[in-house]
Amino acid sequence: MVIYLMKVYNLEIVTATSLLSMWSALSHGLALLGAFVSDSFLGRFTVVAIGSISSLFLRPSRCDHFEINECDRPTPAQLLVLLFSFGTIALGAGFVRPCSIAFGADQLDSKENPNNKRIMESYFNWYYATIGMSTIVATTLIVYIQDAFGWRIGFGIPVILMCFSVSAFLLGSSMYIKVSASESLFTGFFQVFVAAVRKRNIDLPVNSANYYYQSPESESQALTSSFRCLNKACMIEDPERDINPDGFASNPWSLCSVEQVVSLKSLLRVVPMWSSNIMVQLSLNQFSFATLQTKTMDRHIFSDIEIPAGSFSVFMVITLVMWIAFYDRVLVPIKARYTGQPGGLSPVLRMGIGLVLSAAAMVLSAITECIRRGIAIDQKDPQDSPNINMSAMWFVPQYVLLGLADAFNAIGLVEFLYSELPKSMSSFVVAIFTLGMSVSGFFGSVLVNVVDIVTSYGGGVSWLSSNINNGHLDYYYWSLAFLNVVNFLYFLLIICRYNRHEKEVKEKQCEYSTQRA
């Protein structure tokens, strides 16, 4: 897509990269809206159906739609059509992404099944693997068609495939398990905040579960000391005034249930762990620059087979899919056989491994770009012409590391969120995960513009010059490597606090069970 924007819309590399980052951020950020509508109003099946149909409309338009083949400058009308197309796709993706994985989990999740944990773990792995497989098709076959037959056919084929996908999904409607929407989670969260503020001057009771309101529709739960001020939201002041004869709160804006407070605490508690994923996603979003780098190099595998510059990310996806299959079908059974414990590595451990691999990938990217640029300068090639005497296959190792980083960190984070958040927030698992991708998109756009402005200050050549042989992409990659190292240290601090909280939860639950007995 970056080549399309630069070649057809004649955008600078910084502008094109920023536009793609903002589009990615919007499409992932809208996942929160999709999750909210799904869990609170329409249900997952309906939201997935709406999102799938929305994705069919207005694929990114061709520049020759306005009878222009090579645009000197895009007109406002051309940009409007392009941005509107991006926005429509983003809306569809925002509705599908958070609900599809939770909708699939609804079909398999059974608490009565003793193997439920292993089934769900395998489901998350293979869900991510299928995304990888579709990405392989997109970055190989579709990119080849775009290069060989043009943008019109290249954009038309995904429309046909999406029509087939929507039809197949809707035809299976009668066979699905459809979980009904519950009351708005956001409303419940606001009620907790309002009730806690109203009771801010009241002292909390000491070690007595009987002072806290348990909804008759939910299971009894214990409160922890984390975010202790929120505990006041479910504290009973006057039983006759606060609770109706049917057992429900007379005013939900003054008295909330323990379940509501626990749900909000669960969400707040996972925020630090979730935020550590942002840098990994930012590292994964460097395809725009990598595409331009490989475009200047020898991309032949054999004398007559040349890989399109936009297809090199397929090595990352292939690595991801192969690792998931190897991990799920080989490593996990071996671990279970020798330890006697089902399941694979803990989600937190996998997230940490992913962070390390992400930093290593950025270091390798910086080294590879330094070598590539040096060869280009030695050959006295001031332009970005594809004649540098260096094989683009040198970029494969960094894609392999990024694929492993994504496999470890992303799946680990999704499993972590799914295990930490209440069942009623299952659609929010992917929404929260994709929100991190959204934040990384916004942050990436800001970072690219800041680096461009700072490094070109005073008339100098920007690190991110459209002519990458004159720029310094290697310095940019070194900056990302440094940020990844800082992020890993931040992750280690989070783990220490998380382990202490887990110990407290177990102690509180044991104490609560004793009091109830």
Give the end-to-end CA distance of the chain in Å, rounded to a whole number.
63
**Do residues 438 and 4 lie in contact, with contact meaning Cβ atoms separated by under 8 Å?**
no
Query: In the structure, what pLDDT confidence band is assigned to residue 69 with cuts at 50, 70 and 90?
Result: very low
Q: Is the pLDDT of residue 35 over 70?
A: no
Reading the block at residue 258, the tokens are 């323990």
Query: In the structure, what pLDDT confidence band is assigned to residue 79 with cuts at 50, 70 and 90?
Result: low
Report the pLDDT value the prediction gives residue 75, as an integer from 0 to 100.
61
Determine if residue 247 is left, alpha or beta; phi over 0 gives left, psi from -120 to 50 gives alpha, anything else beta.
left
pLDDT digits (tens, 9 = 90+) for 111-132: 666 666 677 777 777 777 777 7
**Do residues 463 and 473 lie in contact, with contact meaning Cβ atoms separated by under 8 Å?**
yes
pTM: 0.72
Which of the four CATH numbers 1.20.1250.20, 3.10.129.10, 3.40.640.10, 3.40.50.720 does domain 2-180+264-512 have?
Answer: 1.20.1250.20
Question: If 0-12 CB within 10 Å is exposed, 13-18 middle and 19+ buried, where does residue 390 land?
Answer: middle
Instruction: Find the angle CA(60)-CA(65)-CA(69) to the nearest 5 degrees.
Output: 100
pLDDT digits (tens, 9 = 90+) for 212-226: 888 776 666 777 777
Q: Where are the domains of the chain?
A: 2-180+264-512
Q: Is the pLDDT of residue 166 over 70?
A: yes
**Do residues 290 and 307 lie in contact, with contact meaning Cβ atoms separated by under 8 Å?**
no
